[in-house]
Structure 1
Amino acid sequence: MIKIREILTITSVLWLATGHAQQAEQDSIARSRILMNQNNYYILGAWAGANIIQGTISASNTKGSEHHLHQMNAYWNTVNLAVAGIGLLGIRKQLNRHYTLTDNINAQQKTEKLLLLNSGLDVAYIATGLYMKERGTRLGNEKTEGYGGSLLLQGSFLLVFDVIQYFNHRRNGRLLENQLNGLQLGAAGSGLGLTYRFR
């Protein structure tokens, strides 16, 4: 016959194994999200660096609206470079912590909402760029035309970049949704219990 002590030992081992498996799964989902963000910061930083170098060189070798386009590309991307740098500094700290299901859901929702907000801002940059370019051309204002062309270019890049990021993160979010679908609330002994179905 199995003794109560043996039952408790088996139950404890199973509970610990389940807890470790769930924690490992949460950390894996978090790691995927964080590494995606890290890669995206590298891409943004590379885009920014290329635009700063090319914009600075081209602005000194061109005139008129083209000069202003390259000048604005260099200015705009100093901000992108700062955003990428600050983002990369926070990555190591994020990779070193453990995430619960709640932590993951909150971080995932925050990331997806931020990317949707950024996409809306990107559309506004494109619209502003189109307006400035058209107005500059119509009024013969080379600075406005060049700056408008730069906003159009930078906004278009950022829109494509943010939309791709959103769909990549959405795939990661579906893993969390599958975990939530695995949770069941039901009767257990003299009360309610929460169980998790592994898939």
Structure 2
Amino acid sequence: MKFIYMLFLSCLYCFSAAQQKETMNTDDLHQQRIETNRKGMWVLSGWGVVNMGSGIIGALSTNNTEVKAFHTMNALWGVVNTGIGVLGLMRAKKEKGLSVSDAGKYRAYKNVKKLYAINGGLDLLYMGTGIVLTTSADKAKNPARNRGYGNSLIVQGAGLLLFDAAMYLSHQKQQRCWTKAGPEFAVTESGIGMVYHL
């Protein structure tokens, strides 16, 4: 639970960092999206490193099968999350220097929101799988191991759901600014178009 609390505080930092002025141009909005993602990837990498370290230490310091399985699964999740975080940081660095059209900037903004929404659905799936593993553990060949794995999936799924929800909301706060991004660039929820003034 301490880990989820730390993740929650880190997500609040990302969320509060995404505050913006009422009027911004598309370049500002594009850079803000990149910066929000960059900070989020640092949070995810940190979450991964904490899980790797505590998972390895926890697994090596116990003979309890359930506890060992819990920490082992956390360590594995830590490797995956750290890897995703590092790749995300590399992508953010690369994106900063790219020249992108206004339509491309908005498309990237919409895609990143969609990505976090899909990830949120996957997080619920992880938690559901963990619940199934723990509740049906008594029927398995190794009940203690299944409970350990299941509890880990629940914790990791909950942590990642919190992260993905915070990231989605951080990006969603830009929507109103995108609709006011510039007199020649109109963006709506249903598409992108040019506005011609007569």
Work out whether residues 25 and 182 of structure 2, in 8 Å CA contact, stay in contact via their aligned partners in 1: no
CA distance in 2, matches of 1:126, 1:40: 21
Deviation at 1:99, TM superposition (A): 3.4
Query: Match for residue 99 of structure 2?
Result: 98
Query: Match for residue 153 of structure 2?
Result: 151
What is the Cα-based RMSD across aligned positions, in Å? 2.2
Matched-pair identity in %: 27
CA distance in 2, matches of 1:128, 1:25: 43
Q: Which has the higher contact order (CA 8 A, sep 6+)?
A: 2
Deviation at 1:97, TM superposition (A): 2.4
Query: Match for residue 170 of structure 1?
Result: 172
Name the TM-score, length of structure 2 as normaliser: 0.77
CA distance in 1, matches of 2:47, 2:85: 10
* Post-superposition CA distance 1:128-166 (Å, at most 9, x none): 011101112565611111000000000000001101110
Work out whether residues 26 and 181 of structure 2, in 8 Å CA contact, stay in contact via their aligned partners in 1: no
Which amino acid counterpart does residue 135 of structure 1 have in structure 2? S
CA distance in 1, matches of 2:57, 2:77: 15
Query: Match for residue 192 of structure 2?
Result: none
CA distance in 1, matches of 2:38, 2:81: 14
Work out whether residues 183 and 195 of structure 1, in 8 Å CA contact, stay in contact via their aligned partners in 2: no
Query: Match for residue 163 of structure 2?
Result: 161
Q: 5+ unaligned residues in a row in structure 2: which ranges?
A: 1-23, 187-194
CA distance in 1, matches of 2:46, 2:173: 25
Distance change (3 Å), C-alpha of 1:85 and 1:176: same
Q: Could you say which structure has the higher helix fraction?
A: 1
Deviation at 1:176, TM superposition (A): 1.0
Which amino acid counterpart does residue 50 of structure 1 have in structure 2? V
Which of these two proteins has the greater Rg computed from alpha carbons? 1
Q: Do structure 1's residue 121 and structure 2's residue 139 form an aligned pair?
A: no
Residue correspondences, number = 165
CA distance in 1, matches of 2:100, 2:55: 42
